[in-house]
Amino acid sequence: MMGDPRHAQPLRRSTLRLPRPDRAWWKHLGAGVLFLLLLFGGWEALARMGFWPRYLVPAFTDVLRALWGTAQSGGLVAGLAASVMRLVLGYGIGLVLGLGLGLWMGRSRIAESTLGSVALGLQALPSVAWLPLALIWFGLSETAITFVVVMGTVFAIAVATSTAIHQTPHTWERAARNLGARGHALLLHLTLPAALPGIAMGMKQGWSFAWRSLIAAEMVYSTVGLGHLLMFGRELNDLPLVMAVMLVIVAVGLAADRLAFGRLEVAVQRRWGVGRRDAKLPA
């Protein structure tokens, strides 16, 4: 803390800073890669030993080959694009609605005691259970699928947001009101930033719910998308293709976490000084 910190940290907008990758981080990454190599190597060896027929237990290279094949035919790209578009659209709508609903429940006692328990209940409902309803309402359409994704997202984010607001220390609100914060200013400068760690967690959870509900919905009804591709592989009895698509689904989920949500969560926790002070960058 010595020296003149003003020079070390020049005046700038209060951005959410991320820790820089350090040696420990590289080590962490190395261990992860090594583990994956061993895992896939072991799988390959086991499958090639011939205890089981290859069409039931394909080797890792069979899966890679299927992946390459569907990538080249354009089926994978089309499916991936369709799924990601739906995901982004549904998640975006769910996020906006969820934040709005959560803020409302967080700030109004009546909204909390009425909508609160409904939201909590609906959060427990697997969102693919909305699909029959959506199909009746919207027919066999994109809207039906988007609706399911929105339903998967909205309650997770709403519940996390309102919980975070309720857990905000009472003295923070008193201090802010004491310093003259009222109405919108109170919402913008106290309620939201105070709840941000909880909201970030809700956003992350909402994202994974959205992804799951999308794949589930695409498997039941869709003509394009990763979920559809899964079912297509099943109809052809093409297990390598099925596994290849599964890998892609996992990869998309991981990528979103590593590149966006996990980082957001760590950055917020560091800034707020909550959670583990030494929180690591996700590898």
Positions in the binding site for another protein (CB under 8 A): 1, 4-6, 9, 11, 14, 169, 171-172, 174-182, 185, 189-190, 193-194, 196, 271-274, 277
Return the exposure string of 172-200: e unless at least 16 CB atoms fall within 10 Å of the residue's CB, then b. Answer: ebeebeeeebeeeebeeebbbebbbbbbb
Q: Smallest distance, Å, CB 219 to another protein?
A: 41
Give burial (CB, 10 Å; 0-12/13-18/19+) of 266: buried
Residue 9 DSSP symbol: S
Q: Smallest distance, Å, CB 163 to another protein?
A: 18
Q: Smallest distance, Å, CB 20 to another protein?
A: 17
Cβ pair 104, 111 in contact under 8 A: yes
Residue among 185 and 251 whose Cβ is closer to another protein:
185
Residue among 90 and 198 whose Cβ is closer to another protein:
198
Residue among 171 and 223 whose Cβ is closer to another protein:
171
Measured in whole angstroms, how far is the alpha carbon of residue 183 from the centre of its chain?
32
3-state secondary structure of 278: coil
Residue where the block lists tokens 């359409």: 141
Residue among 49 and 185 whose Cβ is closer to another protein:
185
Residue among 67 and 194 whose Cβ is closer to another protein:
194
Q: Smallest distance, Å, CB 64 to another protein?
A: 46
- Report how far apart, in Å, the C-alpha atoms of 148 and of each of 32, 125, 204, 210 are: 34, 11, 18, 8
Q: Smallest distance, Å, CB 276 to another protein?
A: 12
- Report how far apart, in Å, the C-alpha atoms of 213 and of each of 42, 118, 222, 283 are: 32, 19, 13, 26
Could you give the CA distance from residue 243 to residue 37 in angstroms, rounded to a whole number? 17
Residue among 63 and 195 whose Cβ is closer to another protein:
195
Residue among 168 and 208 whose Cβ is closer to another protein:
168
Residue among 74 and 169 whose Cβ is closer to another protein:
169
Could you give the CA distance from residue 62 to residue 48 in angstroms, rounded to a whole number? 11
Q: Smallest distance, Å, CB 279 to another protein?
A: 12
Could you give the CA distance from residue 6 to residue 12 in angstroms, rounded to a whole number? 11
**Tell me, what amino acid is at 134?**
A
**Tell me, what amino acid is at 144?**
A
Q: Smallest distance, Å, CB 101 to another protein?
A: 23
Q: Smallest distance, Å, CB 238 to another protein?
A: 51
Cβ pair 90, 130 in contact under 8 A: no
